[in-house]
Amino acid sequence: FPSSLLFSFAQNSPKRQSLPPLQNNQLVKKMKSVVALLSLLLLCLTASSSAFAPATRTTALMPRTASTAAAPSATSLNMVFGNKKSAAQKAAEEEKAAKFWQGEWVCKDCGYIYQRAECAGMYFEEQGPGFRCPQCSGPRRRYAKKVGDVVGTTLDGGDAPILIFSFGGVIATIAFGIWAVNNL
């Protein structure tokens, strides 16, 4: 741009006018109310997020408070080590174990091996449809039986139903396209 054009534009541009004191005070009041509203909203959000935060645990590194140190322990040795099982209880447990897969269940997504002790002592087959992998949150259908070094299929047939319906949908779409081109 030529400098004369820029100079003429700068001379013709309107100058800023300051607001009258009354309007300036109103603007300040509005800004204060907006800031107060935003700070109140931020306070509410932080209060609600701390309400849903997980409870803190006392560890060996954290000092105990007087309330936790004074509470008597309700655990007994039977709760820690368990009761001695009778022969009938052992037989019932073995019979139950015989109904379920004795090998390993492996998550196909992350390779996590199902550990009965980590999952409330339940066999994998006892887990409901809402069960998720503890490591990757994959659904139950992504688990498969592991036999040696080979991972087999899952309880619901694996990915076969998904693939069959996907290819069926593609074929139906192509058939409809061909029909539409020929008939319309």
- pLDDT tens, 92-135? 888 888 888 778 889 988 999 999 888 888 888 888 889 999 99
Residue 58's nearest CA partner among 67, 49, 45, 47 is 67
Percent of the chain at pLDDT > 90 equals 17
Helix (H, G, I), strand (E, B) or coil at 120: coil
- For residue 177, the model assigns a pLDDT of 94
- For residue 160, the model assigns a pLDDT of 72
Residue 124's nearest CA partner among 159, 160, 154 is 154
Q: For residue 156, count other CB atoms closer than 10 A to its CB.
A: 15
- What would the two tokens of residue 170 be? 């593609």
- pLDDT tens, 29-40? 888 888 888 888
First to last CA, the chain: 59
pTM of the entire predicted model: 0.37
Residues facing 113 on adjacent strands: 106
Residues facing 105 on adjacent strands: 145
CA distance 72 to 78: 17
- What would the two tokens of residue 132 be? 């998720």
Residue keyed to tokens 């655990």: 75
CA distance 94 to 104: 17
Asked if the model's pLDDT at residue 47 lies above 80, the reply is no
- pLDDT tens, 17-26? 565 666 677 7
Q: Which residues of 102-113 are buried (b: 16+ CB within 10 A; e: fewer)?
A: eeebbbbeeebe
Residue 116's nearest CA partner among 99, 130, 97 is 97
